Amino acid sequence: MAELESIKRTLPWRIIAALVVACLLAVGGWVFAQDKAAAPAAPAAPAAAPAPPPKPDPGGIATGGIADVTAKEAGKPTLAEIADFAGHNRVSINLMWTLLTGFLVMFMQAGFALAETGFTRAKNVAHTMMMNFMVYAIGMTGYWIMGFALQMGGASPLATLGGTGVLDGEFTISLFGKDFGLWGTKGFFLAGSTYDVGVFALFLFQMVFMDTAATIPTGAMAERWKFSSFVTYGFFISMITYPLFANWVWGGGWLSQLGKNFGLGHGYVDFAGSSVVHMVGGVTALAGAMVLGPRIGKFNKDGSPNPIPGHNLPMAALGCFILAFGWFGFNPGSTLAGGDLRIAVIAVNTMLASASGAIFAMFYMWAKYGKPDPSMMINGMLAGLVAITAPCAFVSSFWAFVIGAFAGVLVCWSVFFIERTMKVDDPVGAISVHGTCGAWGVLSLGIFADGTYGDGFNGVPSTVKGLLYGDPSQLVAQIIGPIVNLCFIFGASWAFFKIYDVVFSMRVSPEVELEGLDVPEMGAHGYPEVHGPATLVHAMGTSAVKPPTMSMAPERSR
């Protein structure tokens, strides 16, 4: 009966809707017929019409031609005008590519947020999620204030982005008669002479990379870290540690000059950031997790570890997929040039390593423990991606697959080593995925780089070759890089965390940790209907707390 009533009530509206649709279809059909009729009509009166009617180009072949080249005399550009146009187009493509791939990398923040929150417990979701959320805003602010300047202030000229020369300040010291670039000095607040399109494109791209590194430790330190301490950390990594190491590798600093100055291959090469981004994040995570200590209940009195399952595996898997998608910006975008067609090789290498990482982690866990552990398959795919990030531009597809495959097994070993031997609690495996496999990535470049790419990289003529292709000195540079990374990033981060912990304390109280950080730290439950007070769970109950409307809609009666 009720259904019949409802049909009766809505009948007039249904009729009106049907009439509107019918009218639209009729008008559309008439317009389409007019359009078609017009075409054969044109040749019927050739003499009368001086200008032919505008023709569409559905095939796209006739679109874009000499008339589209900007020229004083339309349709007759001079050679100089054509050259100008070609140059502008080249930079346009590169700048567009840099921005678009930067947008993809920005989306990796969402991947990290989901992966880390899925791997942690439901009572801490608001806290874990909001660390991942706010690190984007905090990191960006710190990077704009001074991080970018320290990192890229001496990086000019930006060859692919129009030869921008305004980032021309690098602080260097002289050792052994060679210059050691330490940090940049131009581009604070992107102000003054750095108000430039090339610089801004570079800022966006480098900013999202820095934020990728900054969001890694939030996973390893989740479920026990004071939010206030996290906020301070967000400024620390985006303004100091990350920019300094990135300057040494990407900003023209001393590690990148090891080739020019000391004949070590092409200097330290990290194409898209296995070490600059991921190892920095992983090593910072290690220092932070060591200072924080393990979660309550993670280790027994005898030191044996207990598993603490994450609350939402689908969330973690979706996060991993979003990260894998964003990696198509991370690696191919690192050419900073859409006109550099090596991007095809880079993109394929990237996806192959993600596949082999996941597959080998799956088989390893399956063989060892009888089941293909879901969370380790997710870590395996990420491990493959992290590892291929440095060598992606320099290796063949075969070695890309091998690099990812080894990373897939390495990440399992590393997770067990960190947990069972070092007794460090890393809820999401961030130290292993990003730290350990990041180091493997830069080493693998020194072994497998095949000499088909990288002519002139870091100012060294000829292409980049690894040990297997005749340049052992490249491997030496690739060993120095991660050692410097470990010493500097671990030392600086550990000191920062330790001092902060002694002065302000980094860790929540045991009561807060056991109850869950959501309400004590953030003031709100992530899942109020599951973990909130009974009055929230049972909507209709009377209570002093006014139930929020979102979850309280009474069930509709039929």
Partner 1 sequence: MKKIEAIIKPFKLDDVKEALTGAGIIGMTVSEVRGFGRQKGHTEMYRGGEYTVDFLPKMKVEVVVSDGLVDKVVALITVAAKTGSIGDGKVFVEPLEEAVRIRTGERGDNAV
Residues that bind partner 1 (CB under 8 A): 305-309, 365, 368-371, 373, 375-376, 412, 415-416, 429
User: Min. distance of Cβ 415 from partner 1 in angstroms?
Assistant: 6
How far apart CA 323 and CA 391 sit, in angstroms, is 18
| Alpha-carbon gap, residue 350 to 326, rounded angstroms | 11
| 365 vs 402 by CB, closer to partner 1 | 365
CB of 426 to partner 1, least distance (A): 10
Q: How far apart are CA 326 and CA 321, in angstroms?
A: 9
CA distance 229 to 496: 11
In the complex, the smallest distance separating the C-beta of residue 375 from partner 1, rounded to whole angstroms, is: 5
Q: Which CB sits closer to partner 1, 12 or 370?
A: 370
Nearest to 326 by CA among 155, 114, 121: 114
Distance CA(151)–CA(132), nearest Å, equals: 23
Of 30 and 369, CB closest to partner 1:
369
Between 369 and 398, name the residue whose CB sits nearer to partner 1.
369
Say whether 184 sits in a helix, a strand or coil. strand
DSSP assigned state of 181: E
Considering the complex, what minimum distance in angstroms separates the CB of residue 141 from partner 1? 35
Nearest to 399 by CA among 389, 391, 390, 410: 391
Sign of the dihedral defined by the CA atoms of residues 435, 436, 439, 444, in that order: negative
**Minimum separation from the CB atom of position 373 to partner 1 (A):** 6
By beta-carbon proximity to partner 1, the closer residue of 361 and 386 is 361
Element spanning 173, H or E: strand 170-175
Token pair 């940049």 is found at: 184
Determine the 3-state secondary structure of 461 from DSSP: coil
Q: Least distance in Å: CB of 307 to partner 1?
A: 4
Shorter beta-carbon distance to partner 1: residue 412 or 443: 412
Least separation in angstroms between residue 435's CB and partner 1 is 17
Quote the least distance from Cβ 550 to partner 1, whole Å.
24
Query: Measured from the CB atom, is 121 or 186 closer to partner 1?
Result: 121
* Nearest alpha carbon to residue 282 among 333, 241, 225, 318: 241
* Whether 404 contacts 355, CB under 8 Å: yes
Q: How far is the CB of 436 from partner 1 (least distance, A)?
A: 15
Rounded-to-10 torsion of CA 113, 119, 125, 127 = -70
Structure tokens belonging to residue 190: 């992107």
Nearer to partner 1, 14 or 371 (CB): 371
Q: Which is nearer to partner 1, 285 or 346 (CB)?
A: 285
Q: How far is the CB of 297 from partner 1 (least distance, A)?
A: 11
Residue 365 beta carbon to partner 1: minimum distance, rounded to whole angstroms:
7
CA distance 235 to 220: 18
Torsion angles phi and psi, residue 175, rounded to 5: -130, 140
CB contact at 8 A, 275 and 489: no
For the bound state, the minimum distance from the C-beta of residue 369 to partner 1, rounded and expressed in Å, comes to 6
Return d(Cα 129, Cα 435) in angstroms, integer. Answer: 22
Q: Which two tokens stand for residue 162?
A: 């129009």
To which H or E segment does residue 79 belong?
A: helix 79-118
Question: Is 98 within 8 Å of 336 (Cβ atoms)?
Answer: yes
Least Cβ distance, residue 488 to partner 1 (angstroms): 30
Q: How far from each other are the two terminal CA atoms of the chain, in whole angstroms?
A: 11
Choice between 181 and 408, CB closer to partner 1: 408
> By the 8 A CB rule, do 441 and 411 touch?
no
Q: Shortest Cβ distance from residue 551 to partner 1 (Å)?
A: 20
* Nearer to partner 1 (CB atom), residue 30 or residue 416: 416
Q: Which residues contact 312 (CB under 8 A, 6 or more apart)?
A: 117, 118, 122
Amino acid identity for residue 75 in this structure: G
DSSP string, 527-547: SHHHHS-HHHHSTTS--SSPP
Asked if 374 and 313 count as a contact pair (C-beta separation under 8 A), the reply is yes
- The dihedrals phi and psi of 270, each to the nearest 5 degrees, come to -135, 95
Q: Where are the alpha helices (DSSP H) in 435-533?
A: 437-448, 472-503, 510-515, 528-531
Q: Is 76 or 368 the residue whose CB approaches partner 1 more closely? A: 368
- Which of residues 266 and 298 has its CB atom nearest to partner 1 in the complex? 298
Nearer CB in complex with partner 1: 244/365? 365
